[in-house]
C-alpha cells in the first residue's frame, strides 16, 4: 500500500500523455517508440500488479456512500430524493457494482482483444520487440485491474451483507457498441480496425471514467483507492495506446484509415454514454417505485446522455494526426 493512496498523480503523469510526432518510417527497421520504450522499461517499478496489495478491509468505512450520488443521471429527481435511506444505500452499492462490472467487461472484451491484435502485429506494422513487450505488459495490467475491481465488488457485498450479483446486469454501452460494430464489419481486416478503434478510445478515455470516482470524499475510501491505483496504470496505457494508434495509422491505406476513424467516432459515442439499460435493471432489482419512469425520463433528456465528458486525449491524438475533422464525431 502506498502512503497516500489518494495522492494527485496528474502532474507526475502529465508528461506521459504527451504524444510527439513520429520519426520517418524506414521499412527496413522494426518500428520503435522512445515513449513506449521508456514505459516498458519502467513497468517493473511502476505497475500496480508489481506492488504490494492494499488491505481493502482496513479502508472500508460503512458510513460512506459506495458511489458518488451526483453521477446518478436522475440524482436531482424528487422521485429519487424521496427514496428511503436503505433503498438509497442499496442503489448506490448497485451503482458501484455496475461500475466495476463495466470496467471489467471493457478490459476483457474491448481493451485486451485490441492489445492482443497489436501484440500479434495484426496490422502488419512491423512492431519491434519493445512495442510487443509493452502491449503484453498492458494485457497483464488489465487482467490485474479486472481482479482488483472484482475484489472491490466482493468486498462491498461481504461488508454490506447484500447480494448484488453483477451477473444480473447487462453489458454496458462500450461492450454493446463494440460487438455491434464488429458484427457489421465485412472482413476480418475491418473487424480488426474497428476493434483497434474501440481499444484506443477506451484506453485514452478510461482515466476520465476512473476520475469520476476519485475526487468525492463522501465516497467509500476503499472504492476510491481501487480506482486511484487503477488510474495510475491507465495514464501510461493512454500514452502507449495513443502512440500505437499513430504508428498503425501512418502505415494504413486510405480505405483502412477511413474505417479506423469511423470506428473512433462510434467508440466515442459508446464510451461516453450513460448506461440507462443498467439503471433500469437496478431499479427492477430493487423494486423501486416509479423506477422505470425515473430512468426513462432521464434517458429522454439529451443533457443527461453523457457520463464521461472529457475525451480530450483522443481529440489531441486526432489533432496530432491532422484528422480531427475526418472523425465523424461532434467533439
Q: How far is the CB of 194 from Fe ion (least distance, A)?
A: 18
Question: Which residue's C-alpha cell is 507526475?
Answer: 12
Q: How far is the CB of 221 from Fe ion (least distance, A)?
A: 20
Q: Among the residues of the chain, which ranges form H helices? A: 10-14, 34-46, 56-59, 78-81, 85-105, 112-119, 129-160, 173-184, 188-214, 221-250, 254-272, 276-285, 291-300, 312-321
Q: How far is the CB of 5 from Fe ion (least distance, A)?
A: 17
Nearest-CA neighbor of 58 among 222, 188, 178, 185? 222
Instruction: Report helix angle 34-46 to 221-250, nearest 10.
Output: 150
Closer CB to Fe ion, 232 or 237, in the complex: 237
Closer CB to Fe ion, 40 or 259, in the complex: 40
Q: How far is the CB of 107 from Fe ion (least distance, A)?
A: 5
Closer CB to Fe ion, 145 or 224, in the complex: 145
219, β-bridge pairs: 65
Question: Which residue's C-alpha cell is 427514496?
Answer: 83
Closer CB to Fe ion, 231 or 257, in the complex: 231
Closer CB to Fe ion, 234 or 275, in the complex: 234
Closer CB to Fe ion, 224 or 237, in the complex: 237
The residues, ordered by sequence, that sit 6+ positions from 141 with a Cβ below 8 Å of its Cβ are: 47, 48, 49, 233, 237
Please give the grid coordinates belonging to residue 147. Answer: 481482479
Q: How far is the C-alpha of 89 from the C-alpha of 87, rounded, in Å? A: 5
Q: How far from chain centre, in Å, is Cα 248? A: 21
Q: How far is the CB of 153 from Fe ion (least distance, A)?
A: 15
Residues forming contacts to Fe ion in the complex (CB under 5 A) are 142, 145, 234, 237
Q: How far is the CB of 143 from Fe ion (least distance, A)?
A: 9
Amino acid at each position: 500500500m502506498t502512503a497516500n493512496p489518494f495522492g494527485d498523480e496528474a502532474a507526475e503523469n502529465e508528461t506521459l500523455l504527451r504524444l510527439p510526432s513520429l520519426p520517418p518510417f524506414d521499412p527496413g527497421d522494426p518500428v520503435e517508440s522512445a515513449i513506449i520504450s521508456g514505459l516498458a522499461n519502467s513497468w517493473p517499478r511502476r505497475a500496480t500488479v508489481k506492488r504490494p496489495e492494499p488491505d481493502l478491509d482496513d479502508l472500508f468505512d460503512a458510513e460512506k456512500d459506495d458511489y458518488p450520488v451526483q453521477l446518478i443521471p436522475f440524482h436531482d429527481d424528487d422521485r429519487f430524493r424521496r427514496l428511503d435511506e436503505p433503498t438509497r444505500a442499496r442503489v448506490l452499492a448497485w451503482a458501484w457494482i455496475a461500475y466495476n462490472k463495466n470496467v471489467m467487461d471493457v478490459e476483457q472484451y474491448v481493451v485486451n482483444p485490441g492489445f492482443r491484435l497489436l501484440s500479434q502485429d495484426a496490422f502488419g506494422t512491423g512492431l519491434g520487440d519493445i512495442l510487443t513487450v509493452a502491449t503484453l505488459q498492458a494485457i497483464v495490467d488489465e487482467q490485474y485491474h479486472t481482479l482488483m475491481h472484482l475484489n472491490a465488488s466482493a468486498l462491498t457485498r461481504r461488508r454490506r451483507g447484500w447480494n448484488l450479483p453483477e451477473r444480473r446486469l447487462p453489458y454496458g454501452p462500450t461492450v454493446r457498441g463494440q460487438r455491434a460494430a464488429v458484427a457489421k464489419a465485412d472482413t476480418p481486416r475491418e473487424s480488426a480496425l474497428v476493434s483497434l478503434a474501440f481499444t484506443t478510445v477506451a484506453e485514452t478515455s478510461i482515466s476520465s471514467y476512473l476520475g469520476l470516482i476519485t475526487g468525492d470524499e463522501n465516497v467509500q475510501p476503499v472504492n476510491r483507492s481501487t480506482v486511484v491505483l487503477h488510474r495510475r496504470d491507465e495514464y501510461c496505457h493512454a500514452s502507449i495506446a495513443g502512440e500505437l494508434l499513430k504508428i498503425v495509422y501512418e502505415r494504413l491505406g486510405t480505405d483502412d484509415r477511413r474505417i479506423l476513424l469511423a470506428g473512433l467516432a462510434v467508440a466515442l459515442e459508446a464510451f461516453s454514454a450513460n448506461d440507462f439499460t443498467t439503471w433500469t435493471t437496478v431499479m427492477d432489482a430493487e423494486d423501486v417505485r416509479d423506477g422505470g419512469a425515473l430512468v426513462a425520463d432521464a434517458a429522454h433528456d439529451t443533457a443527461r446522455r453523457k457520463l464521461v465528458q472529457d475525451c480530450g486525449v483522443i481529440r489531441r491524438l486526432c489533432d496530432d494526426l491532422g484528422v480531427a475533422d475526418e472523425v465523424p464525431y461532434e467533439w
